[in-house]
Amino acid sequence: MCPQNGDAPLDGVQDAVAVEGKTDGLNGPNGTPHPHAANRHSSTSQHRNPYAPRASDFLNNVSNFKIIESTLREGEQFANAFFDTETKIAIAKGLDKFGVEYLELTSPAASEQSRRDCEAICKLGLRAKILTHIRCHMDDARIAVETGVDGVDVVIGTSSFLREFSHGKDMAYITKSAIEVINFVKSKGIEVRFSTEDSFRSDLVDLLSIYQTVDKIGVNRVGIADTVGCANPRQVYELVRTLRGVVACDIEVHLHNDTGMAIANAYTALEAGATHIDTSVLGIGERVGITPLGGLVACLYAANPEYVKSKYNLAMLREIENLVAEAVEVNVPFSNPITGYVAFTHKAGIHAKAILNNPSTYEILRPEDFGLTRYVSIGHRLTGWNAVKSRVEQLGLQLTDEEIKDATAKIKELADVRTQSMDDVDSLLRVYHSGIQSGVLEVGQKDALDRLLREHRAAQLASA
């Protein structure tokens, strides 16, 4: 792994340094010396600098990547998806406003309307580059280059499964048609990408050989596709890193989410030197889809918030997700990163206290950077007096800490029976406060408080 280093344990020390660098928000090896390094390795470290940059520091593209947004291609392969022209244009404009670098559209060979929609989106004059996605076949390529796209994404299966059961072609034929299609697209002066479908179940020698061939003839990007979602982060790292050493062109990854790895795999691909990541809004695509745009953005924001904020209009994310969710008739999942309805809701008393003091205690993403708001939920039995105190202050009530703790005990007692709404909690706090103010209530007088609450409820019912 490290050319200067034949001493295995040193790798461990280097890992520790890399972690320190990250903690400082640095990509490079600028961390302070590891306290144990000198003692443990003094004999070898005389000859080399253990803190010198490693190959992996230079490969890492976590803060240098482009998104190829494929909601209008992979996303159209989602079981529920039917996008009419108007919806496609709304999605394209929304994603463009968000700031994705590329939009990938369904093949114009798929249907007459697909071809017309592709042309219509090319004419919108968006900032994002427009790509279309075709089979590795001259018939498709001829149609694609006439649509006005900025580039063509070419794909063909290389695994034995697809060679035998999909297109029936061997590697020699695949290579020959790849060269023909790539040269043809290039001759039109537009970008071309060549991708192998089912890369992780393809023979490594076949893969590297075809990628090297297309790189030599000037393809702009090569793509690796985890078509069945079988890859894990380590496999992704190894394949991308190996490919990085073989081709000079950009590297795109397309990662399905069948085993829930798509975001982690995308992150790891960037660490290994990938330059472009395919996404779709909410991850929609064949089966359970691919790397979701929002989840990827959350993950990359956590790594480098300033870079991600500078590239994308993050406050647009919710609007785009809602647009696509509505178009394909699904709900945004409750646990969705950033936009899930509980993404910034804090509940347990211990969390609530710390969050109220400093949100970074329990938040890696700042809701305000996404145009969103944090919530502290208090009407439940896991609440604590610090959270209740914050609400008391918001309501402008004057209560001592001892009184707030007493009121909190009542909230918990009631919440043991059922969760209390914010209105329930507010009423209780107001009743408690007026009881204290008027002198009919003192700390610990449970019966008096129960009576005041009963009277309050009766008055509410009478006025309803």
Ligand X SMILES: O=C(O)CCC(=O)C(=O)O
Ligand Y SMILES: CC(=O)SCCNC(=O)CCNC(=O)[C@H](O)C(C)(C)COP(=O)(O)OP(=O)(O)OC[C@H]1O[C@@H](n2cnc3c(N)ncnc32)[C@H](O)[C@@H]1OP(=O)(O)O
Compute the chain's Rg from CA coordinates.
29
Q: What CA–CA distances, in Å, run from 59 to 66, 89, 267? A: 15, 36, 13
- Residues numbered 278 to 337 that lie near ligand X (CB under 6 A) are none
Q: Is residue 172 within 8 Å of residue 132, measured between CB atoms?
A: no
Q: Which two three-digit tokens encode residue 124? A: 């919108």
Question: Which stretches does DSSP call E strand in 234-343?
Answer: 250-255, 276-279
Shortest spacing between CB 73 and ligand Y, in angstroms: 8
- Residues numbered 252 to 281 that lie near ligand X (CB under 6 A) are 254, 256
Shortest spacing between CB 247 and Zn ion, in angstroms: 21
Among residues 133, 276, 351, 380, which one is catalytic?
A: 351
Q: Which two three-digit tokens encode residue 432? A: 């408690």
Q: Does 74 bind ligand X (CB under 6 A)?
A: yes
- The residue at minimum Cβ distance from Zn ion is 74
Shortest spacing between CB 157 and ligand Y, in angstroms: 6
Near ligand X by CB under 6 A: residue from 69, 153, 321, 406? 153
Question: Which stretches does DSSP call E strand in 308-458?
Answer: 345-346, 375-376
Q: Does 155 bind ligand X (CB under 6 A)?
A: yes
Q: Is residue 253 within 8 Å of residue 277, measured between CB atoms?
A: yes
Could you give the CA distance from residue 135 to residue 399 in angstroms, rounded to a whole number?
70
Q: How many chain residues touch ligand X (CB under 6 A)?
A: 11
The DSSP element (H or E) to which 96 belongs, if any, is helix 85-98
Shortest spacing between CB 326 and ligand X, in angstroms: 24
User: Which residue, chain included where needed, has tokens 């596709």?
Assistant: 225
Could you give the CA distance from residue 368 to residue 57 in angstroms, rounded to a whole number?
31
Q: Are strands 276-279 and 221-226 parallel, antiparallel or unpaired?
A: unpaired
Shortest spacing between CB 72 and ligand X, in angstroms: 13
> Which span (164-172, 174-182, 220-228, 343-351) binds ligand X, by CB under 6 A?
220-228
> Which span (52-60, 116-124, 219-227, 409-417) binds ligand X, by CB under 6 A?
219-227
Task: Choose among Zn ion, ligand Y, ligand X, none what residue 136 binds, the Cβ cut-off being 5 to 8 Å by kind.
Answer: ligand Y
Nearer to ligand Y, 110 or 222 (CB): 110
Nearer to ligand X, 296 or 387 (CB): 296
> Which span (221-229, 331-339, 347-355, 408-416) binds ligand X, by CB under 6 A?
221-229
Q: Does 135 bind ligand X (CB under 6 A)?
A: no
Question: Which stretches does DSSP call E strand in 178-310?
Answer: 191-197, 221-226, 250-255, 276-279
Question: Which stretches does DSSP call E strand in 206-293?
Answer: 221-226, 250-255, 276-279
- The 8-class DSSP code of residue 100 comes to -
Q: Does 106 bind ligand X (CB under 6 A)?
A: no
**351 is known as an active-site residue:** yes
Near ligand X by CB under 6 A: residue from 62, 185, 225, 284? 225
The DSSP element (H or E) to which 234 belongs, if any, is helix 233-244
Q: By the criterion CB under 6 A, which residues form the site for ligand Y?
A: 77, 107, 109-110, 135-137, 155-157, 166-167, 197, 227, 286
Residues carrying an active site annotation: 351
Where on the chain is the footprint of ligand X (CB under 6 A)?
Answer: 74, 133, 153, 155, 195, 197, 223, 225, 227, 254, 256
